[in-house]
């Protein structure tokens, strides 16, 4: 730590501490010491404080303990001569800053000074966002985040930087301003879509709001890494090794910026600055350098990635628009649309088929029918996207796996909106994209390049034909429909009993080191992203990768789904932590969970059943806990009978909790989940002989207490009450 | 003193510290003999110096020189050299370990409530030490736990079989090696006794097994008595953190009562320090015309008090007589080890009261105020009162206006803290910057000061050269005070460090030379080296680390014992100044270098000139770097998702 930096950071820490102490005193005066304080919808209290110290801040007076601790950490500014060591004390000042800033920002939610959420600023990320986006950090689709402080020299540069980071798949967390101008405002001025979906996230105007970046990172360690609150060593080590984030300081670095950056360094997040401030190059706390300065905006992102030690694989695509997951969430509004297809307004579909290698010219992209520049602005067109592949290891089972990637692959292009799959797709291409030269054949170029890249182990050749000729589209669709039907038949016949091999999934072991998913044909991964076929294909792609085959071995218990081979595998991969695991039971050695699950099953003892809650549901549940709190109990790779994380698709499986009696055990679920599942559950309800069963399940309109649920199901003849005791 | 000697002795060349010449001229004027003059007039016995004299039995003494390759009993040069060496090591181990025993007894007395106002300063360290000892901490108050810790510590001394509990703190690989070589100490006292037995006439007569005996005996101190002394002193008086102070005779005060504490133990010194701030004492001092009471230190009592309380060292061991020559010292309180009987002669010429406080170290006809460890405060008050009253007897005062500011207080715990703060404390940044070459290696410059070489010359030059070559230096004992006196312990000294080491100093805010404590605190260095091996990137043992220990101006048996436990722990050790105590046997000299390297991964060699010591140090460091494959710059590794999964969290 340069002495100049140390001195500035320590001064900044004292300054923020002073402001926060005063703010808290004012809040206590206005609202009383016992007034509740919280950040929106999180089970982690004030997450940085909770993670690093284990303190649960629930009311204003709880902040006293935190600030007392922060004050103990606050050191003196190093003397001019004969100074005492300052690196350790400055890092302490940084931690004190983070603890203090989190109090400061939480208080904004109470005193609205300033209002934490505005048209531009989003304020704290709640647990729903943290879990949904956290998964992207888990599977690598988001390699890290940039915490941007200050502002670019001008808004065009801001856009360029933002686009560059989006293309590198990074999240951009914005807070702080440079002499009144902020990066977020610069992007807004240029009409850039901001928000979690585009990975451009403006937290707040003051640098203190960067605490939400740190809060996100801290929760990732607890939610996905199973780190216990208060275990600061592991929270910080987890972030250094897993969450590849960095700070970009754009503009004049103030004392308070230094203080915040000092806090980030303890997390292993270095600072890269545009201004000519001192550097800290020796390594040790971060992976490489700690502060690198005087970097031009042109080199900034590349430098930051190198300093953080991040390897980002970006396939360069020959297309005239930006490309990356950050553009997946971008909307194309009707008035901005140049051409539209599908959406039940025109005939449109996408189809991948396997041909003989001899019949494919790799890289050939053909558009049959008019191109985008040959049609009028605002046209509705028929569209068929037919991708032919060949490969020695290609199997018909993998066709659907690869085809399902079309959605992401096309949606990642700036100005392309893609939804749905098969013949239910809906595509829009924006005027802006077309004016930049984007054409339909570029969709083909994207699919060719990305399929070869992502599936290189199974696909050797790819050619793409895009039809906009109405007759051709209709003609080929008939063939595609046959394929879809064959695939459905195959899937229906694919049951746990008909295969010998399950697959493990340890994709998120980077985040949840002790958890291993077992993916079976009838139970998909709990994140919902991987079914059995995906896992099989993934194993083919990368034989030593995160999806390993598990020979089922002897069946030990048909009802609860316990196999000798699965037990052996789990025992080995969990290092002996888990010795037995069932696939279909909630109570008897249930599968462990990482933190990425879509839905949590929780026991409702009075009702002799269970409740389901999806991660999007922010409210209280009859278990007395919100999703976020329940998630804390379920995650981290430990078996917790009575609680389990699952993927949505498992709810409609015949094997859903079959050991406990299956779907009939469900007594409560949020209305939104019920509605979303209605269609896929229809067959199952018919089999149960109770087509109206879903309406016997209570939801939030009935109540959020188990008593209310019990009364409701008693009045509605819910089967759970007459079933065997669940435990 | 004869006229001849007066002619040859030149006060200007015996030290590079200007205060030495200044005070030695006063001594000459007053016709007072000092260690410097005596060293000039008494030449060392050349046979004894090289370990060639055997006086173990009345058949001798036998001098194995010239044509005499065997003693009367037939013992050869190798046996005699190794036997003498082992006896020296045993004496050193006994001194350090007995010091540790006394600390354990004090801890037990305080924890049992037998000492008035006795308190435990560092309960965090107490819990940590209990952990090392396998003592369950849960639900115990500090005193209960401290009694258990003290009992366990005391049991180490008398233990007859098994292994010392601290052996378990060494790197796993080292423990296995020791076990396989049969050198794991069983009990501290037992190993010293065995060393004495082994060296009795007609017992062990094989230089290799004698030297294994030396290793085992020294380990009983390094990983036993010394380490316990450090740990238990930290529990009692606090684990050091950086403090500012200054060093050299200029820290004595012209207008305050000066009390000098000298020796090796912190107990009485700490009580004296407390007593000097009592209003009663201050008023007494004022009534006698003094403006206050000043406590300064000599030797390792100075280091102990400096590390924890910032007490300024007035000088290293060779300054003990010079300090009294200022005429400004009202009392010099001595405890144990490295105290010259010559002090009595010097003190007689001045008003200075020489007070010996240890029942096992009465110095000549000095006043004895033996400290009852159960009532140390009483003794401390008596000493302070006596010193203050003596201020009235002060006559002419001559205090050199020379002192240098310094920063000291680098315990293992603080080094971890300073590299990562409260929440990221570890040695990782140290290891990583050794791996990336910013820090070429680490050198411990330790030990004494000796009148057989120019005072401070070797230590200062070795330290300066090493930091200029990007070697991070830690210092203990008198070498630490020497470094302080010459301004090497200030953070500003980084200006003289090599560019990349200076960058590290700038990053952390440290001097390139870290004061780690007294000579008993060399155990702190063992702990740091073990932690470095555990932290990763530099192998998995102390042997192989790019680290070297040096004692450029050694004189005592304790120094040889430290050298031996360092070598036995896997470190290469270089001793300077006077020649080798085993020089009479080429075979033994070579075996301590090559044989020990092969057997223990560490070695002990004797190199006279500072420049040669530096060259050898850099060679050893560079060889270690090469063996670790960190002699060439590593490429920057960028991590993708799969690689991150491999990282530990």
State how far the Cα of A244 lies from the Cα of A142, in Å rounded to an integer: 9
Please check the confidence at residue B6 and state whether its pLDDT lies above 70: no
- Domain around A124: 3-308
Domain co-membership, A283 together with A380: no
Instruction: Nearest chain A residue to B512 by CA: give it.
Output: A85
A189 in any annotated domain: yes
Residues 6+ apart with CB under 8 A from A469: A368, A369, A370, A382
Cβ atoms of B561 and B192 closer than 8 Å:
no
**Which chain B residues are closer than 8 Å to A454 by Cβ?**
none
- Domain around B102: 77-237
Burial of B362 (0-12, 13-18, 19+ CB in 10 A): middle
Interface contact A233, partner B, CB < 8 A: yes
A174 in any annotated domain: yes
**Which chain B residues are closer than 8 Å to A306 by Cβ?**
636, 638
State how far the Cα of A131 lies from the Cα of B28, in Å rounded to an integer: 83
State how far the Cα of B228 lies from the Cα of B93, in Å rounded to an integer: 13
Q: Model ipTM?
A: 0.95
Q: Across the interface, which of B405, B509, B644 has its CB nearest the CB of A241?
A: B644
Which of A444, A478, A512 lies at the terminal end of a domain, its last residue?
A478
State how far the Cα of A715 lies from the Cα of A697, in Å rounded to an integer: 11
Q: What is the pLDDT of residue A704?
A: 87
Q: What is the pLDDT of residue A457?
A: 85
Query: Looking at per-residue confidence, does A636 or B62 come out higher?
Result: B62
Taking chain A (727 residues) in runs of 10, the rounded mean pLDDT of each run is 92 98 98 96 93 97 98 97 98 98 98 95 91 78 93 97 93 97 97 94 97 95 88 95 94 97 97 96 94 96 95 85 87 93 92 93 95 94 96 88 89 91 91 95 95 89 96 96 88 89 80 80 84 87 86 94 94 85 94 85 94 90 89 81 92 93 95 91 91 93 92 94 91
Domain co-membership, B269 together with B195: no
Which of B364, B393, B422 lies at the terminal end of a domain, its last residue?
B393
B529 in any annotated domain: yes
Which of A308, A339, A368 lies at the terminal end of a domain, its last residue?
A308
Domain co-membership, A416 together with A283: no
Q: What is the pLDDT of residue A1?
A: 58
Domain co-membership, B231 together with B291: no
Cβ atoms of B563 and B573 closer than 8 Å:
yes
Domain co-membership, B431 together with B389: no
Interface contact A208, partner B, CB < 8 A: no
What's the whole-number mean pLDDT along residues B155-160?
Answer: 98
Cβ atoms of B415 and A269 closer than 8 Å:
no
Q: Could A3 and B432 be called an inter-chain contact, meaning their C-beta atoms sit closer than 8 Å?
A: no
**Any idea what the CATH number is for the domain that residue B568 is in?**
3.40.50.2030
B306 in any annotated domain: yes
Domain count, chain B: 3
Q: How many CB atoms lie within 10 A of CB A488?
A: 11
Q: How many CB atoms lie within 10 A of CB B512?
A: 28
* A 604-663 near B (Cβ less than 8 A): none
pLDDT tens-digit map of A604-617: 999 999 999 998 88
**Any idea what the CATH number is for the domain that residue A455 is in?**
3.30.1650.10
Domain co-membership, A429 together with A549: no
State how far the Cα of A152 lies from the Cα of A165, in Å rounded to an integer: 14
Q: Which of A57, A79, A85, A84 is nearest to A70 (CA)?
A: A57
Domain co-membership, B210 together with B171: yes
Cβ atoms of A103 and A24 closer than 8 Å:
yes
Query: Looking at per-residue confidence, does B338 or A626 come out higher?
Result: B338
CA atoms within 13 A on the CB side of A446: 25
Domain co-membership, A574 together with A714: yes
Please check the confidence at residue B76 and state whether its pLDDT lies above 70: yes
| Percentage with pLDDT > 90 across chain A | 75
Q: Across the interface, which of B242, B424, B644 has its CB nearest the CB of A84?
A: B242
pLDDT tens-digit map of A633-654: 887 778 889 999 999 989 999 9
pTM above 0.90, yes or no: no
Does the bond joining B415 to the residue before it have cis omega, within 30 degrees of 0?
no
A313 in any annotated domain: no
State how far the Cα of B431 lies from the Cα of A446, in Å rounded to an integer: 46
Domain count, chain A: 3
Domain co-membership, B372 together with B283: yes
Please check the confidence at residue B401 and state whether its pLDDT lies above 50: yes
Domain co-membership, A146 together with A8: yes
Give the distance from residue A412's alpha carbon to the nearest chain B alpha carbon, in angstroms: 20
Cβ atoms of B499 and A90 closer than 8 Å:
no
Q: What is the pLDDT of residue B1?
A: 41
**Any idea what the CATH number is for the domain that residue A527 is in?**
3.40.1470.10
**Which chain A residues are closer than 8 Å to B424 by Cβ?**
91, 233, 236, 266, 285
Q: What is the pLDDT of residue A516?
A: 86
Per-residue buried b or exposed e for A332-353, using 16+ beta carbons within 10 Å of the residue's own CB: beeebbbbbbbbeebbbbbbbe
Cβ atoms of A576 and A552 closer than 8 Å:
no
Chain B interface disruption, residue of A51, A75, A88, A510, most B CBs within 10 A: A88
Domain co-membership, B378 together with B419: no
Chain B interface disruption, residue of A230, A231, A282, most B CBs within 10 A: A282
**Which chain B residues are closer than 8 Å to A282 by Cβ?**
429, 432-433, 436, 438, 503-504, 507
Eight-state DSSP code of residue A726? -
Give the distance from residue A186's alpha carbon to the nearest chain B alpha carbon, in angstroms: 31
Domain co-membership, A510 together with A535: yes
Domain co-membership, A289 together with A412: no
Cβ atoms of B544 and B538 closer than 8 Å:
yes
Domain co-membership, A395 together with A505: no
State how far the Cα of B28 lies from the Cα of A233, in Å rounded to an integer: 62
Assign B5 a pLDDT band (cuts: 50, 70, 90).
very low
Which of A449, A478, A507 lies at the terminal end of a domain, its last residue?
A478
Q: Across the interface, which of B421, B503, B509 has its CB nearest the CB of A266?
A: B421
Domain co-membership, B443 together with B298: no
How many pairs of residues across A and B have Cβ atoms under 8 Å apart? 142
Q: Could B421 and A234 be called an inter-chain contact, meaning their C-beta atoms sit closer than 8 Å?
A: no
Assign B196 a pLDDT band (cuts: 50, 70, 90).
very high
Q: Which of B235, B241, B244 is nearest to B417 (CA)?
A: B241
**Any idea what the CATH number is for the domain that residue B115 is in?**
1.20.1270.30
Domain co-membership, A603 together with A671: yes
Domain co-membership, A259 together with A178: yes
pLDDT tens-digit map of B466-479: 999 999 999 999 99
Q: Tell me how far apart the terminal alpha carbons of chain B are, to the nearest angstrom.
A: 70
Range name among A374-388, B6-20, B613-627 with the lowest pLDDT average? B6-20
Domain co-membership, A186 together with A277: yes
| Cα B293–Cα B295–Cα B301 angle in degrees, nearest 5 | 160
| Cα A259–Cα A262–Cα A267 angle in degrees, nearest 5 | 140
A483 in any annotated domain: no
State how far the Cα of A413 lies from the Cα of A403, in Å rounded to an integer: 17
Instruction: Nearest chain A residue to B490 by CA: give it.
Output: A82
Q: What is the pLDDT of residue A573?
A: 85
Q: What is the pLDDT of residue A511?
A: 60
Our separate counts of H helices and E strands in chain B read 29, 16
Domain co-membership, A562 together with A660: yes
Per-residue buried b or exposed e for A568-579, using 16+ beta carbons within 10 Å of the residue's own CB: ebbeebbeeebe
What's the whole-number mean pLDDT along residues B573-592?
Answer: 96
Residues 6+ apart with CB under 8 A from B361: B263, B334, B335, B336, B337, B339
Residues 6+ apart with CB under 8 A from A533: A397, A398, A400, A401, A494
B150 in any annotated domain: yes
Chain A interface disruption, residue of B498, B509, B537, most A CBs within 10 A: B509
**Which chain A residues are closer than 8 Å to B432 by Cβ?**
282-284
Helix (H) or strand (E) holding B207: helix B207-220
Interface contact A6, partner B, CB < 8 A: yes
């Amino acid at each position: 730590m340069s002495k100049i930096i140390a001195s500035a950071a320590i001064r900044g820490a004292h300054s923020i501490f002073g402001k926060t102490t005063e703010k808290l005193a004012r809040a206590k005066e206005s609202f009383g010491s016992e007034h509740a304080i919280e950040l929106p919808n999180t089970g982690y209290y004030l997450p940085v404080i909770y993670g690093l110290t284990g303190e649960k801040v629930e009311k204003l007076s709880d902040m006293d303990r935190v600030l007392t601790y922060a004050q103990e950490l606050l050191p003196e500014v190093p003397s001019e001569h004969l100074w005492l060591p300052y690196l350790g004390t400055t890092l302490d000042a940084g931690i004190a800053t983070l603890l203090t800033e989190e109090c400061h920002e939480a208080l904004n939610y109470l005193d609205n000074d300033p209002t934490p959420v505005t048209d531009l600023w989003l304020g704290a990320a709640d647990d729903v966002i943290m879990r949904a986006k956290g998964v992207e950090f888990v599977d690598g689709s988001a390699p890290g985040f940039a915490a941007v402080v200050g502002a670019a020299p001008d808004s065009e540069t801001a856009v360029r930087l933002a686009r560059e980071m989006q293309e590198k798949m990074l999240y951009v967390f914005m807070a702080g301003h440079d002499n009144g101008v902020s990066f977020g405002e610069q992007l807004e001025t240029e009409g850039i879509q901001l928000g979690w979906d585009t990975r451009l996230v403006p937290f707040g105007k003051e640098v203190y709001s960067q605490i939400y970046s740190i809060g996100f990172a801290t929760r990732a360690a607890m939610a996905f890494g199973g780190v216990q609150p208060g275990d600061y060593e592991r929270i910080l080590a987890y972030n250094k090794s897993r969450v590849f984030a960095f700070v970009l300081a754009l503009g004049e670095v103030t004392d308070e910026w230094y203080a915040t950056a000092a806090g980030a360094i303890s997390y292993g997040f270095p600072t890269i600055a545009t201004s000519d401030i001192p550097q800290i190059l020796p390594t040790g706390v971060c992976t490489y350098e700690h502060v690198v300065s005087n970097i031009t905006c042109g080199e900034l992102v590349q430098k930051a990635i190198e300093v953080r030690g991040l390897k980002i694989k970006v396939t360069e695509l020959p297309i005239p628009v930006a490309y990356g997951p950050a553009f997946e969430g971008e909307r194309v509004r009707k008035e901005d649309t140049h051409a539209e297809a599908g959406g039940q307004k025109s005939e449109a579909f996408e189809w991948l088929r396997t041909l003989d290698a001899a019949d494919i010219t790799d890289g050939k992209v053909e558009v049959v029918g008019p191109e985008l520049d040959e049609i009028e602005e605002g046209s509705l067109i028929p569209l068929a996207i037919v991708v032919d592949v060949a490969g020695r290891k290609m199997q018909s089972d993998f066709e659907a796996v690869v085809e399902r990637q079309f959605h992401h692959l096309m949606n990642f292009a700036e100005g392309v909106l893609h939804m749905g799959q098969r013949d239910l797709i809906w595509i829009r291409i924006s005027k802006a994209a077309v004016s930049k030269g984007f054409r339909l054949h570029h969709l083909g170029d994207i699919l060719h390049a990305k399929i070869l890249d992502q599936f290189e182990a199974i696909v050797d050749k790819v050619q793409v034909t895009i039809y906009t000729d109405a007759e051709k589209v209709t003609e080929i669709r008939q063939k595609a429909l046959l394929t879809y039907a064959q695939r459905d038949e195959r899937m229906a016949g694919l049951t746990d009993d008909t295969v010998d091999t399950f697959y493990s999934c340890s994709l998120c072991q980077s985040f949840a080191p002790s958890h291993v998913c077992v993916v079976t044909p009838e139970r998909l991964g709990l994140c919902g992203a991987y079914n059995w076929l995906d896992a099989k294909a993934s194993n083919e792609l990368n034989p030593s990768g995160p999806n390993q085959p598990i020979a089922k071995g002897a069946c030990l218990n048909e009802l609860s789904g316990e196999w000798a081979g699965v037990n052996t595998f789990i025992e080995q991969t969990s290092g002996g932590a888990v010795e037995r695991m069932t696939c279909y039971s909630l109570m008897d050695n249930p599968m462990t969970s990482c933190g990425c699950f879509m839905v949590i099953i929780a026991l409702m003892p009075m009702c002799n059943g269970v409740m389901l809650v999806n991660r999007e549901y922010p409210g209280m549940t009859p278990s007395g806990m919100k999703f976020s709190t329940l998630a804390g109990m379920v995650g981290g790779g430990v078996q917790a009978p009575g609680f389990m994380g699952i993927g949505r698709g498992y709810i409609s499986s015949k094997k859903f909790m079959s050991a406990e009696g299956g779907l009939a055990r469900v007594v409560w679920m949020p209305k939104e989940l019920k509605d979303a599942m209605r269609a896929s559950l229809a067959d199952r309800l018919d089999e149960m002989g109770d087509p109206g069963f879903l309406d016997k399940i209570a939801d939030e309109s009935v109540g959020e207490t188990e008593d209310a649920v019990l009364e409701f199901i008693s009045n509605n003849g819910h089967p759970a009450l007459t079933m065997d005791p669940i435990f | 003193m004869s006229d001849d000697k007066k002619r040859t002795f030149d006060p200007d060349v015996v030290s590079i510290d200007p205060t030495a010449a200044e005070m030695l001229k006063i001594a000459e004027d007053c016709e007072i003999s000092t260690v410097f003059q005596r060293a000039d007039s008494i030449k060392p016995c050349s046979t004894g110096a090289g370990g060639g004299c055997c006086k173990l039995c009345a058949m001798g003494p036998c001098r194995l020189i010239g044509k005499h390759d065997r003693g009367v009993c037939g013992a050869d040069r190798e046996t005699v050299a190794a036997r003498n060496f082992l006896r020296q090591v045993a004496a050193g181990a006994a001194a350090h370990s007995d010091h540790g025993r006394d600390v354990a007894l004090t801890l037990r007395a305080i924890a049992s409530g037998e000492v008035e106002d006795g308190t435990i300063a560092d309960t965090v360290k107490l819990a940590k030490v209990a952990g090392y000892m396998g003592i369950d901490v849960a639900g115990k108050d500090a005193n209960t736990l401290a009694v258990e810790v003290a009992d366990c510590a005391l049991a180490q001394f008398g233990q007859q079989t098994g292994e010392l509990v601290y052996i378990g703190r060494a790197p796993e690989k080292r423990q296995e090696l020791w076990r396989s070589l049969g050198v794991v100490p069983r009990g501290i006292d037992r190993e010293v006794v065995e060393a004495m037995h082994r060296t009795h006439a007609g017992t062990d007569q094989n230089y290799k097994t004698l030297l294994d005996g030396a290793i085992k005996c020294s380990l009983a101190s390094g990983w036993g008595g010394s380490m316990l002394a450090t740990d238990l002193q930290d529990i009692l008086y606090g684990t050091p953190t950086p403090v500012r102070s200054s060093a050299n005779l200029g820290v004595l005060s012209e207008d305050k009562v000066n009390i000098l504490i000298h020796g090796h133990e912190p107990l009485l010194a700490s009580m004296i320090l407390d007593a000097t701030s009592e209003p009663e004492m201050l008023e007494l001092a004022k009534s006698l015309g003094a403006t206050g009471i000043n406590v300064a230190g000599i030797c390792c009592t100075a280091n102990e008090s400096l590390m924890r309380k910032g007490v300024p060292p007035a000088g290293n061991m060779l300054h003990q007589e010079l300090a009294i020559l200022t005429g400004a010292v009202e009392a010099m309180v001595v405890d144990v080890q490295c105290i010259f009987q010559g002090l009595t002669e010097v003190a007689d010429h001045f008003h200075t009261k020489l007070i010996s406080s240890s029942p096992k170290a009465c110095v000549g006809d000095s006043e004895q105020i033996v400290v009852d460890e159960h009532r140390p405060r009483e003794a401390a008050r008596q000493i302070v009162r006596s010193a203050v009253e003596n201020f009235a007897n002060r006559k002419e005062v001559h205090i050199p206006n020379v002192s240098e500011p310094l920063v000291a207080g680098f315990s293992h715990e603080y080094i971890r803290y300073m590299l990562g703060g409260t929440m990221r404390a570890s040695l990782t940044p140290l290891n990583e910057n050794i791996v990336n070459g910013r820090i070429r290696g680490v050198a411990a410059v330790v030990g004494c000061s000796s009148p057989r070489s120019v005072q401070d010359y070797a230590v200062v030059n070795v330290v300066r050269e090493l930091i200029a070559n990007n070697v991070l230096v830690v210092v203990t004992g008198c070498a630490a005070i020497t470094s302080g006196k010459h301004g090497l312990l200030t953070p500003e000294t980084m200006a003289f460090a090599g560019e990349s080491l200076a960058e590290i100093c700038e990053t952390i805010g440290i001097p390139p030379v870290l004061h780690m404590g007294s000579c008993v605190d060399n155990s702190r260095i063992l702990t740091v080296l073990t932690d470095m091996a555990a932290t990763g990137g530099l192998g998995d043992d102390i042997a192989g680390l790019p680290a070297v220990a040096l004692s450029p101006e050694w004189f005592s048996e304790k120094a040889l014992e430290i050298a031996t436990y360092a070598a036995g722990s896997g470190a290469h050790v270089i001793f300077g100044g006077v020649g080798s105590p085993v020089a009479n046997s080429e075979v033994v000299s070579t075996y301590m270098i090559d044989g020990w390297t092969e057997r223990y991964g560490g070695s002990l060699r004797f190199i006279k000139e500072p420049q040669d010591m530096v060259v050898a140090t850099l060679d050893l460091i560079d060889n270690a770097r090469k063996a670790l494959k960190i002699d060439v710059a590593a490429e920057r590794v960028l991590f993708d998702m799969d690689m991150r999964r491999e990282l530990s969290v």
